[in-house]
Amino acid sequence: MAAAKPTPILAVRDLVKDYGPVRAVRGISFDVPRDCCFGLLGPNGAGKTTTVEIIEGVTPATSGEVLYQGKPAGAAFRQDSGVQFQTAALQDFITVRETLEMFHRLYRRRADLEQVISDCALDPLEKRDNRKLSGGQRQRLLLGIALVNDPKILFLDEPTTGMDPQARRNFWELVERIRARGKTIVLTTHYMEEAQALCDEIVIMNEGVIVTQGAPEQLLKAHYKEIILELPESDLAEMPPEFPFPSYRRNGLVEIHTDDANEAITRLSGAGVPLGRLNIRPYRLEDLFLDLTGKELRP
């Protein structure tokens, strides 16, 4: 007899959300396994923020349900979940510590506040007025607020938007440390590099539906048997005649998608293309994302 499948910490079933005549989410279903970092990806308008906000309980669904540990998400879910919104105003004239203390008091289950402050590197900012925080400091405070109840499941909505590269890397390390304590993380992000670095499993949404779901590496293996050769456009103004592999021009580069790198390189060399700046790389999550959701700008 097969072992029973463990109950996911979160299950979304047939979720639909209409805004007037516009159907933003079109009956999606997925499970979030325990103790993983789960990424919800999609271009602008894909419905991912709406989906996450329905799960968080801040936006009502038109239909469908969200199950937390097998039961409809309710009061227990609010006690057990932590939420970091992409943007959330805080009260003016209140310090970082006072803000954390206020949210800390809203929960029955509470984390060690000093630990939260330390984890989020907020020690030097404790007495600073919320209004005087930089973008990165503010995001760390919002994360701290999301952690005050020692959540079992943590929602991070575009947590590194607006951060500089150093702050982003630091934030990823922080998320890794939180995850290492057995927390489940649901991450919404535009940054594919971030999703690839942090997520064990992802869902890619487009126009209100899920277009693919799985572990990033498995998805890449399933979708691509090829590798990518990159050359600057200036080195390859025109493709050699009868070149058998598809190519795309993107961001000043020519990308050649091929399952036979030797053959492609031989043909390029034979056509006199300089190969000194040739770069060979595997497919990345960003390639999959663009292939599945399209490359055109979203309105």
For another protein, which is the closer residue by CB, 54 or 204?
A: 54
Residue 229: both structure tokens together = 């050769």
Parallel, antiparallel, or unpaired: how do β-strands 184-189 and 153-157 relate?
A: parallel
What minimum distance in Å lies between the beta carbon of 186 and another protein?
A: 13
Residue 51: both structure tokens together = 């989906």
Q: How far is CA 99 from CA 17, 96, 142, 247, in A?
A: 33, 5, 10, 53
Q: Hey, is 73 helix, strand or coil?
A: coil
For another protein, which is the closer residue by CB, 11 or 145?
A: 145
The helix-helix angle for 165-180 and 135-147 (nearest 10°) equals 10
Residue 252: both structure tokens together = 């000043």
Point out which residues bind another protein (CB under 8 A).
56-59, 75, 78-79, 81, 83, 85, 87-91, 103, 106-108, 145
Q: If residue 6 lies in a helix (H) or strand (E), which one and from where to where?
A: none
For another protein, which is the closer residue by CB, 68 or 85?
A: 85
Contact 128, 93 (CB under 8 A): no
Instruction: Report how far residue 117's alpha carbon sits from residue 144's, in angstroms, rounded to the nearest whole number.
Output: 7
For another protein, which is the closer residue by CB, 13 or 78?
A: 78
What minimum distance in Å lies between the beta carbon of 58 and another protein?
A: 5
What minimum distance in Å lies between the beta carbon of 178 and another protein?
A: 18
For another protein, which is the closer residue by CB, 86 or 170?
A: 86
Q: In a 10 Å sphere around its CB, with 0-12 CB exposed, 13-18 middle and 19+ buried, how is residue 90 labelled?
A: middle
What minimum distance in Å lies between the beta carbon of 130 and another protein?
A: 11
What minimum distance in Å lies between the beta carbon of 54 and another protein?
A: 12
